[in-house]
Chain A
Amino acid sequence: MSTFLGMPVHAPRGVGHLRGDESFPDAARTALGDSQLRRNLQHATTTIRGKSGRVIAELPDWQELRSAGSALKSYTMAHLPELLEQLEEKVTAAGGVVHWAADANEADRIVTDLVRAAGEQRVIKVKSMATQEIGLNEALEAAGITPVETDLAELIVQLGNDKPSHILVPAIHRNRSEIREIFLRAMPGVDPKLTDDPPVLAGAARRYLRETFLSTKVAVSGANFAIADTGTLAVVESEGNGRMCLTLPETLITVMGIEKLVPTWQDLEVFLQLLPRASTGERMNPYTSMWTGVTPGDGPQNFHLVLLDNGRTAVLADEVGRQALHCIRCSACLNVCPVYERTGGHAYGSVYPGPIGAILSPQLTGVADNASLPYASSLCGACFDACPVKIDIPSILVHLRNQAPHPRTEAAVMAAAAYTMDHPRLYRSAQRAAKLSRIAGRRGRGLPPPLNGWSASRDLPAPPKETFRDWWRNR
């Protein structure tokens, strides 16, 4: 029995958001018909690519930082059992309580029970991929507990009864007039004269959430990093809603995938440089909060850390695929992906969209449950170049395709891809970028942003000699 229990298993079906209702090609076809969506996405990804390229170019040691980040994550995976136990020991010594959740159902149950034990009917939440992955909001609602998303984009998604479509900017698919309509319809007490000026919309969210922040006693967060040798947790954010959730309530519950560990406090010096520049294109994001257990008289006096497996050990069991666990959720790979830019995040079905989603979701669920995702890529290699921890996404895609030859779906995906790739400007420029950065050598010096910061220290899969459409016609 224990041997069976102790074998890695995939994330269970029927809970959470790792599997879509339809396959990638079907969902992509819908998205491709939405020209507003494509305009919103193209504007957003172009902006972020430019910003990111400029601040990465400011660092002369970007490639050294990437190598260190990559090695640190490999080291962490190799020593995961000891590091997790060390983390538990440190957090416990600092007054926190550590819970272990084998899957989404167990994590949902743990959090729900903790909120119930606190006697509360409402929790405030700061954006966390892990809690979306496990469907925590649905579980809380089923238990009569109201989860309030406090990240502006998450609030837009939640009030609009919508789904996130990007790791970093979950409402990237909504424009200002759509946001105004959502607020007018679903935000209690909103000024009926609300305009669609972005500062006005942000001000409405500030007023709406202030009272909720001050009166809610339990918060749920994710974590960007957990430091094994000190028990310190870190949340990286922009708006200050994270600080509110991490500071004001009496009880804080943090749900974190077991792969988020960093071995030592010193190692944070690498990731705090990689993450903001790769994700929001800032030298540093506006706010980063770090806390270790409970600080008497300052912040939540009850701290619970939920360590989540939910298929991660199954990913770890694959020697090629386990690199997907190195991901620090910066979203750079989404922003450079020609397929993502055309289809948007919803087409991927899972909370993890884009290139990282194409390798992570099928591994978490088992490839059979997300069989079309490994094909949702043109293997142009831009994601590998952009990744701050050097995850070789194209090789993992190929590896997963070999695990799941899926002729019928593949044909459908290729049809969608052919349409997607038919002359979009970005696809060509991404391929050009891939080629150029190979020529430019290790540091990509001398190229204009955003190419100058990206590496090309390895062999890319060869870009196709003929276009997808040609290939499709000729086969």
Chain B
Amino acid sequence: MSSKDVILDRIRAALGAGAETPEIPRDYRRGPAQVDLDLLVERLVDYKAVVHRLTAEKPDTGEPVAGGGVEGSGPQAGVGGARPLDDLDHLAEGRANAQVGVEAAAVRAAIAGILGAGTVVVPPGLPLEWLPDGVHGLVDDGLSAERIAAADGVVTAAAVAVVETGTIVLDASPDQGRRIISLLPDLHICVLRADQVVASVPEAVARLDPTRPLTWISGPSATSDIELNRVEGVHGPRNLHVILAGQ
């Protein structure tokens, strides 16, 4: 008798005539709800990410929104105002092309403001015109861990972001790359489009494909293991910059 059969038999014996199967009450908020980008910025900053907002009129000049510089004056997490379905369809199409809605010149300016010069790892699907002069892009075509770790930073796109928790999710698409590249460098620059942002965790889960490797990132790595002092950065990137494009 295999251990699998032993365990399954034990479970059936333990359950006996059968345990009750409850209805799952799903009366928590499941969205879709209004996306509040100001609140996203606030939440990202609260967890020590540095945010650079690009607007169509005025490209970011490298002045970051950071370190508590944002007041919590915006509206609270949206719970009303359902988004029309055709809008969501439009977003699904937009995802197919990472460059839609992202002004390369503005991204270049923001990255130049973060990192004057140096080498950054980039996933194979990332538009190289996002990189400013002086910043060399090392395209990941199966780079060794040592070369990735030696780079000054990494630039990726994102899959989804969650306003309520200040979370960015990477799903290893070509513009985000292998999980290792956003892990070893000490600086992670993540370019996020406004249409990738959702209000809540349930909406993010609904958009993601679980068969892809997913990394949910909420601020730089941190620990509270020493007397509960929060210390940024033990093993992951100690600096997380988010470039937010669109509105």
Contact = CB atoms under 8 A, between A and B. Distances in A.
B6 interface: yes
A13 B27 CA distance: 44
Nearest to B231: A202
Contacts of A202: 223, 226, 231, 233-234
Interface in B54-101: 77, 79
Interface in A250-286: 258, 265-270, 272-273, 276, 280, 282-286
Given A214-B146, A295-B213, A81 B25 contact: no
A80 B226 contact: no
B221 A239 contact: yes
Given A5-B1, A214-B145, A269-B202, A238 B14 contact: no
B210 A286 contact: no
A47 to B, nearest CB: 5
A270 B226 CA distance: 30
Contacts of A81: 8, 11-12
A79 B142 CA distance: 42
B172 interface: yes
B81 to A, nearest CB: 16
Given A202-B233, A265-B205, A74 B22 contact: yes
B213 A71 contact: no
Interface residues of B, number: 77
A2 interface: yes
A227 B210 contact: yes
Nearest to B146: A214
Contact of A60 (B3, B11, B29): B29
Interface string B25-44: 11111100000000000010
B133 interface: no
A239 B234 contact: yes
A269 B214 contact: no
Given A75-B24, A202-B231, A247-B183, A283 B165 contact: yes
A322 B20 CA distance: 12
B167 interface: yes
A209 interface: yes
Contact of A40 (B20, B205, B211, B227): B227
B136 interface: no
A8 B29 CA distance: 39
A12 interface: no
Nearest to B215: A289
Contacts of B28: 61, 64-65, 68, 270, 273
B6 A292 contact: no
Interface in A262-320: 265-270, 272-273, 276, 280, 282-292, 295, 297-299, 307, 309, 313-314, 316-317, 319
A364 interface: no
A28 to B, nearest CB: 23
Contact of B201 (A7, A68, A273): A273
A431 interface: no
Contacts of A80: 11, 15
Interface stretch (A94-102, A354-362, A457-465): A94-102
Contact of B180 (A60, A247, A282): A247
A120 B213 CA distance: 26
B15 A286 contact: no
B210 A232 contact: yes
Contacts of B234: 152, 202, 205-206, 238-241
Interface stretch (A15-23, A168-176, A406-414): A168-176
B220 interface: yes
A101 B10 CA distance: 12
B10 A6 contact: yes
Interface in B100-142: 142
B22 A7 contact: no
B185 to A, nearest CB: 12
B145 A248 contact: yes
B43 A230 contact: no
Interface in A40-97: 40, 43-44, 47-48, 58, 60-61, 64-65, 67-68, 71-72, 74-75, 77-81, 84-85, 88, 94
Given A247-B180, A286-B236, A199 B7 contact: no
Contacts of A214: 145-146, 149
Interface string B186-221: 000000000000000110011000111111111111
Nearest to A230: B210
B29 A61 contact: yes
A85 B22 CA distance: 21
Given A8-B10, A292-B211, A67 B3 contact: no
A243 B19 contact: no
A152 B19 contact: no
Given A80-B15, A172-B228, A232-B210, 18 more contacts: A9-B10, A43-B228, A64-B25, A68-B26, A77-B19, A100-B2, A101-B3, A150-B235, A170-B225, A198-B231, A202-B223, A209-B235, A210-B149, A214-B149, A241-B235, A244-B183, A269-B205, A287-B221
Interface of A: 1-2, 5-9, 40, 43-44, 47-48, 58, 60-61, 64-65, 67-68, 71-72, 74-75, 77-81, 84-85, 88, 94, 100-102, 106, 150-153, 156, 169-172, 175-176, 179, 198-199, 201-202, 205-206, 209-210, 213-214, 227, 230, 232, 238-241, 243-244, 246-248, 258, 265-270, 272-273, 276, 280, 282-292, 295, 297-299, 307, 309, 313-314, 316-317, 319, 322
7 contacts: A43-B227, A43-B228, A78-B18, A241-B234, A244-B235, A283-B218, A322-B19
Closest A-B pairs by Cβ, 4 of them = A240-B236, A6-B9, A240-B235, A317-B14
